[in-house]
Amino acid sequence: MPEVTGCIDAYFSAADGVTQLRNHAQSYPLKIAKTFPFGGGQLGVYVMDASPGIMAGDRYELTWRFGEDTNVHVTNQSYTKVHPSHKTGWDVPRPSAQLQRLELRQGAYVEYMPEPLMLYQAASFCNETIVELEPGSSLVLSEIVCPGRTHRGERFHYARYQNTLSVRRDDELIFSARQRVEPQLETPRSMARWDLYTHLGTLYLFSDRTDTGLVEGLRERLNGFVPASAADSELYYGVSLTYKHGLAVSVLGYRVGDVQELLDEAWRYIRTEAFGKEVLRVPK
């Protein structure tokens, strides 16, 4: 297991409808760059990586603790770039890893929406996300995975990608997902999971407010959606309820911008219809 080379540990609290970053610790190259007051009492938090990205042998750990009735939007300033894990002269590969922990207390509303993950050629990366929810809390979580630097001809040239997500609510496991892709063993685009698509995106909502009505309304909204970046874009997506207290939007596409636009549309619908919040424009 790689040693920890960068970490963030942050705690948020709320009083009189105002959310604050109460305390935090961080180590280079990760840092909380800025916090901004967004509309509706929401606090915007930006994470910065001062290095070129996740290098061979790196391990990042991010722990986020959201107190009762906090209202937070967390994102980062740019793509998470995972560099090659095996270079000439190395006896063995040096894989990299990231662990994210999110703890939401009662009444907390959190949007955790990082920029896409970019897997460079020969990258080997393991990402694990652990979520702990209390009843009455809500989490919007998004993930987008790129097959490589497509403008340089990198499509599934990475060595390995492993991703796990587990969500517990009141100590009960309500959602678990695992994914492992090793393109050198089996081409993802030749398998049913990807077909000919290259980019994968997912948006989750874990909340007491998920129900069949919300899912049906979201499906109808997305059925009429056309990405502004490309009217000829082709996307393959679906919306479904999870086992308990959740829904998932999954999308496959050929361009990262198209995938982002569809997930953003789903996010806007969830904000307005499930929580009565105004549409949020996040400056980057």
Classified as helix, coil or strand, 218 is helix
Q: What phi and psi, each to the nearest 5 degrees, are found at residue 129?
A: -125, 125
The predicted pLDDT at position 229 comes to: 66
* Span 245-272, average pLDDT: 96
Least confident piece of the model among 20-24, 155-159, 245-249: 155-159
Please compute the mean of the pLDDT values over residues 227-239 and round it to a whole number.
Answer: 80
212 contacts: CB under 8 Å, gap ≥ 6: 241
Least confident among 34-38, 83-87, 207-211? 83-87
Locate tokens 């685009």: which residue? Answer: 189
Q: How many CB atoms lie within 10 A of CB 219?
A: 15
Report how far residue 261's alpha carbon sits from residue 139's, in angstroms, rounded to the nearest whole number. 20
Task: Answer yes or no: is pLDDT of 193 > 70.
Answer: no
How far apart are alpha carbons 77 and 114 in whole angstroms? 8
pLDDT in tens, 2-16: 578 999 999 999 999
Confidence of residue 72 (pLDDT cuts 50, 70, 90): very high
119-175 pLDDT, tens per residue? 999 999 999 999 999 999 999 999 999 999 988 888 999 999 999 999 999 999 999
Identify the residue with better confidence: 2 or 197. Answer: 197
pLDDT of residue 190: 58
